[in-house]
Amino acid sequence: MVLPDTPLYNSKSDAEFRVRMIGHIKEAYKDLLGADIKLLDLPDGLNLVQAKVQEMLYDASKGQVDLRPAYMHKKAA
């Protein structure tokens, strides 16, 4: 895979990439996430935001698009 030549992708470590990715998400998606953007400050924040976005997509599509993990399907049923 070819990655763009930008500071985000030119990180020297996984930790640096994670910090940059969180910063990018906070800037680019602040309107979409609203107050939930604070989830990114938690240790498992990226996973929490991913789950939140998957749930938002499911709700907005009225169940037509479901990217939630299999265990979430049982919860919603």
66 closest CA partner among 51, 53, 54, 48 = 54
59 inside domain: yes
**pLDDT tens digits, 22-77:** 999 999 999 989 999 999 999 999 999 999 989 889 899 998 888 887 766 655 54
At 10, phi and psi to the nearest 5? -100, 40
Q: Give the pTM.
A: 0.68
6 inside domain: no
Q: Which domain holds residue 43?
A: 14-76
51 closest CA partner among 35, 72, 37, 65 = 72
19 inside domain: yes
12 against 60, higher pLDDT:
60
* Total domain count, the chain: 1
24 inside domain: yes
2 inside domain: no
State residue 74's pLDDT score. 57
